[in-house]
């Protein structure tokens, strides 16, 4: 039963995921592309039905990142709470996930110098 509820929430999330993608500021990065392709389904700000930290919500991400970017990335890789492993993107590498997390958290991307977690 819980699974049915979760799946229907996911469907709602997927249907609503285009809203943020269209209004996101133009910023060429791999993290942004992956976010739009995979993560936005659950992490778009419009997805009030999903208990995920939302893209651009710096306060929510700051709380998550207190354990460090590497541990936060590791949790995304293995799955956490209602989030499936790698956001269900089996072909995504941990490094790619980290870039998407940087994008969602509003951190600098790795195109410049490596930035330590806040």
Site string for ligand HEC, 51-70 (x = CB under 6 A): xxx----------x------
Among residues 24, 77, 80, 85, which is the contact residue for ligand HEC, using CB under 6 A?
80
Please report whether residue 107 would count as binding ligand HEC according to CB under 6 A: no
* 84 is an interface residue for ligand HEC by CB under 6 A: yes
Secondary structure (DSSP) of 25-81: PP---HHHHHIIIIIHHHHSTT-TTS-SPPTT-HHHHHHHGGG-HHHHHHHHHH-BT
Residue of 82, 93, 106, 118 interacting with ligand HEC (CB under 6 A): 82
- According to DSSP, the residues that pair with 80 across neighbouring strands are 83
């Amino acid at each position: 039963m819980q699974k049915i509820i979760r799946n229907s929430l996911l469907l709602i999330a997927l249907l609503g995921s285009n809203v943020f993608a269209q209004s996101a500021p133009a910023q060429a990065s791999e993290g942004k592309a992956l976010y739009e392709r995979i993560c936005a389904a659950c992490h778009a700000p419009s997805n009030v039905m999903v208990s995920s930290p939302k893209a651009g919500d710096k306060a929510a991400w700051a709380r998550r990142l207190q354990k460090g970017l590497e541990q936060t990335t590791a949790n995304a890789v293995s799955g956490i709470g209602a989030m499936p492993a790698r956001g269900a993107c089996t072909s995504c590498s941990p490094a790619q996930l980290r870039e998407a997390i940087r994008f969602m958290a509003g951190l600098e991307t790795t195109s410049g110098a490596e930035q330590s977690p806040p």
